[in-house]
Amino acid sequence: MEKIKNTLSAKADLKSLFIELQPDNRVSTVMVVSYVPTDKDSFPVFMDLTARIAMDKEVIPDNLLLRFEGIPAKEIPFNSELLAKDNAEALRFIVSHGGITEDNSVSLRKVAFLKACQREMTTDNLRELDHSQGYTCFVSHEEAMEKARAGKPSKLFFTIAETSQGAKVFNDGLPGRRDFRNYLQSLADHFFSNSLQDVDSLRLYRIETTSKKMLELSGDTRQLIPVTHDGLEILKGYKPSVVFDMHPVGENLDRFVTTNSLELSSRNWNVMMLQDIAQRGYAHLSTDESFAYKKEFAPVDKGLREITRQRDLEREYPFEKKMEELQTAAKSMARTLLNIEGVRKEHRPIPPAVTIPDISNPPQKEITQASLSTPKPEPEKKVASKTKGQKETVKSKTASRKKQIKPKL
């Protein structure tokens, strides 16, 4: 009976131990909780806690998060949830309980990356990061930052976004990636608004450099930087990696949102539908219930049904003419609603003015001081009078020329 009591007591005193281990095998953080076989939340809570602490630092360390479950309390070398002071004892515990494996360890950088991307901490999501280009760039950035902090030369990648309004510089760290995505989402949300007036294109550059100035510029992405700013002269030696057409046209917004995996606001969806109606008419959208202006186009819907019914009843019914009239009305209404929505107009540069010279009056000579003086009259030329015989000779020669050029009949 005593043996059964001891067995039940031992089972009731099982614990789960979570450890944050640094690359040099020092223990950063430990957490001890009661072991429950069905517990699926304790370790995710530990991952979230360590990730939030790490994300407040300049560089996220390449630490491992370890999980040991169902451990008798007396075997755990820690008696609190605070930092473990005896690292040697902690390492002996890790080795004696199976060591570090794929099943009981998770990279802190992976956890922080998923948290920054607002993705769930699942096994599948963690494994997918091994094939993620974005995660690879993030890890390279953290490793380069560690070298830079240690005084070693290191190159960093930067993404530079440039429009006619200015430029912004983003690094590959978690704050930089977050700010870059927020910037793209803001452009998508304001795609049709006047805040992007005269913005014809977005040019994205991908540059690797050791420039400390670029790292400094990437530290504050709240304001646009003039392209003439110190440090941005580097752009002269590069071509954009990608260029997005930012003219306020639905096709341009669709490409921008799709390529960058952004969200499309309901307002922009309605604007895109209005543009489509203004260009092609309303018939092909009559079944779209998500359209916010369904009520405004109700008369068009009714008219389409009516002329379709009349076409089936009357052989000579002018269906094409009636359809054209309805579509013309629908396109006009769509243009009116676009004006109410305040959609920015497509920017078209005004060509430079051309001066057309006035040829109605002959050009005047430049007036000089010399020309203001009274001109001297020219002496009269004496013309000798012709004699009667000379006049007759002239008439004879003229008549002779006329006779020569007279065409033959």
Measured distance CA(176)–CA(55) in Å, rounded:
12
Mind listing the pLDDT tens digit for each residue in 37-78? 888 889 999 999 999 999 999 899 999 999 999 999 888 876
CA distances (Å), origin 167, targets 153, 244, 285, 404:
27, 15, 39, 83
pLDDT, mean of residues 363-378: 46
- Please check the confidence at residue 358 and state whether its pLDDT lies above 90: no
Supply the pLDDT for residue 382: 47
329 alpha carbon, distance to own chain's centre: 36
| pLDDT band of 151, cuts 50, 70, 90 | confident
Residues 6+ apart with CB under 8 A from 308: 319
- Please check the confidence at residue 392 and state whether its pLDDT lies above 80: no
Measured distance CA(2)–CA(9) in Å, rounded:
11
98 alpha carbon, distance to own chain's centre: 47
Supply the pLDDT for residue 407: 41
pLDDT, mean of residues 80-103: 77
156 alpha carbon, distance to own chain's centre: 21
Supply the pLDDT for residue 4: 45
User: Which of 306, 301, 305 has its CA nearest to residue 330?
Assistant: 301
| pLDDT band of 345, cuts 50, 70, 90 | confident
Supply the pLDDT for residue 399: 46
- What are the residue ranges of helices labelled H in 13-102? 42-55, 87-96
Per-residue tokens: 82: 């605070």
- Please check the confidence at residue 361 and state whether its pLDDT lies above 70: no
- Please check the confidence at residue 322 and state whether its pLDDT lies above 60: yes
Residue 221 phi, psi (nearest 5): -105, 20
| pLDDT band of 401, cuts 50, 70, 90 | very low
Lowest mean pLDDT among 85-94, 213-222, 227-236: 85-94
User: How would DSSP label each residue in 331-359?
Assistant: HHHHHHHHHHHTPPPPP-PPPPP-PPP--
Residues paired with residue 243 on neighbouring β-strands, in sequence order:
203
Strands (E), 154-200: 156-163, 166-171
| Beta carbons of 29 and 20 less than 8 angstroms apart | yes
Measured distance CA(359)–CA(366) in Å, rounded:
17
281 alpha carbon, distance to own chain's centre: 30
Supply the pLDDT for residue 288: 65
Quote the mean pLDDT of the chain. 83
Name the one residue in this structure whose structure tokens are 């309390």: 73
Per-residue tokens: 401: 């020329």
User: Which of 48, 92, 44, 38 has its CA nearest to residue 67?
Assistant: 44
Supply the pLDDT for residue 153: 85
Which pTM was predicted?
0.73
- Please check the confidence at residue 404 and state whether its pLDDT lies above 60: no
